[in-house]
Amino acid sequence: AAKQKGRGLWQEYNAELQAMERKRRGLELDLRQALAEDQFSLAFQPQIDFATGEPTGMEALLRWNHPEHGLVMPDEFIGLAEESGLLVAIGEWVANEAIRTAAKWERPLTIALNLSPVQIRSDGFVEVLTRAIAVSGIAPSRVELEITETALLHDTDENVRTLHRLRALGVRIALDDFGTGYSSLNYLRSFPFDTIKIDRCFVMDLLERPDCQAIIRATINLAQELDMETVAEGIETADQFEWLGEIGCTAGQGYYISRPIACGEQVEGVARRETTLQLDRFAPSAGG
């Protein structure tokens, strides 16, 4: 009987796996239509300067408005897009859209874009970015490219060369999700990043965990020594916000400050010159 039951569970598990695989393949097919049918949009999440309390930048976060499934978040489709080779074209759309939008803002906020390893390795990206910057007339120093540690893991020399070519355009380069990858410190040696983004996992437990406090403190000291700025990700409470400001973190980002916002008017509101960001002012509108 036990054997029978085990078999039943296995079949259930198998059926579930097959259903997941079907959804995955379905999404991959749909992804091919998504660009042509204009189903992508960007949400923007403000970053604020701890010293002044003013917004200094926005991170562009990709959203897929799927005709049947509704809003699909990047963690569900970026991997698929990478595997199927579609991310190069999607990334090109993101760069153009984000830079075009930011160029119209009244306040010269930084616009941060996420780059996947596939994009860095694709030859055309430097040219795409060059053109997007030229066409929009944005100051290159307002564009920041966020790269995760895993993006640098393979073909390191080649990738580092590309980072130097990108930097030569005058854009800033940030190391995203710092501390979560393999051999974090080594990456700081391989390229002179402008910004280190302290991963949300350290910020999340900050007040209960002295070890997280120690890691954040050490990261900020290290960044200062290396002449890099720090952005803390995933700030959700006033206490976390205050703690990070007091120890000298440059800028902060997270639900406590603002959720990613999709609506053009709200985004322009943040980018208006007189805006001082009221914490917790924005309703969730574009998905976490």
Q: Which residues bind ligand C2E (CB under 6 A)?
A: 45, 61-62, 73-75, 78, 91, 94, 114-116, 146, 176-177, 200, 233-236, 254-255, 260, 288
Among 30, 144, 149, 177, binds Mg ion (CB under 5 A): 177
Rounded to 5°, angle at Cα 255 from 250 and 256: 70
Length of the chain: 288
CA distances from residue 44 to 154, 155, 266 in whole angstroms, order as listed: 29, 31, 10
Burial of 182 (0-12, 13-18, 19+ CB in 10 A): exposed
Q: Is 146 in the site for Mg ion (CB under 5 A)?
A: yes
- The least CB distance from residue 90 to ligand C2E, in Å, is 7
Q: Which is nearer to ligand C2E, 225 or 258 (CB)?
A: 258
Read off the tokens for 13: 């598990």
Q: Is 144 in the site for Mg ion (CB under 5 A)?
A: no
Contact status, residue 120 vs residue 67, Cβ threshold 8 Å: no
Rg of the chain on CA atoms, in Å:
20
Q: Is 229 in the site for Mg ion (CB under 5 A)?
A: no
Residue 282: what residue type?
Answer: F
Q: Which is nearer to ligand C2E, 75 or 123 (CB)?
A: 75
Q: Pick from 15, 16, 27: which is nearest to 76 by CA?
A: 27
Please report, as residue ranges, which positions from 106 to 135 form the binding site for Mg ion (by CB under 5 A). Answer: 114
- Which residue has the CB atom at the shortest distance from Mg ion? 146
Q: Which is nearer to Mg ion, 27 or 145 (CB)?
A: 145
Among 144, 149, 176, 229, binds Mg ion (CB under 5 A): 176
d(CA 235, CA 272): 23
Stretch that binds Mg ion, among 128-136, 214-222, 228-236, 260-268 (CB under 5 A): 228-236
CA distances from residue 34 to 38, 61, 104, 145 in whole angstroms, order as listed: 6, 16, 26, 24
Stretch that binds Mg ion, among 14-22, 136-144, 157-165, 175-183 (CB under 5 A): 175-183
- The least CB distance from residue 68 to Mg ion, in Å, is 27
> What is the binding site for Mg ion (CB under 5 A)?
114, 146, 176-177, 233
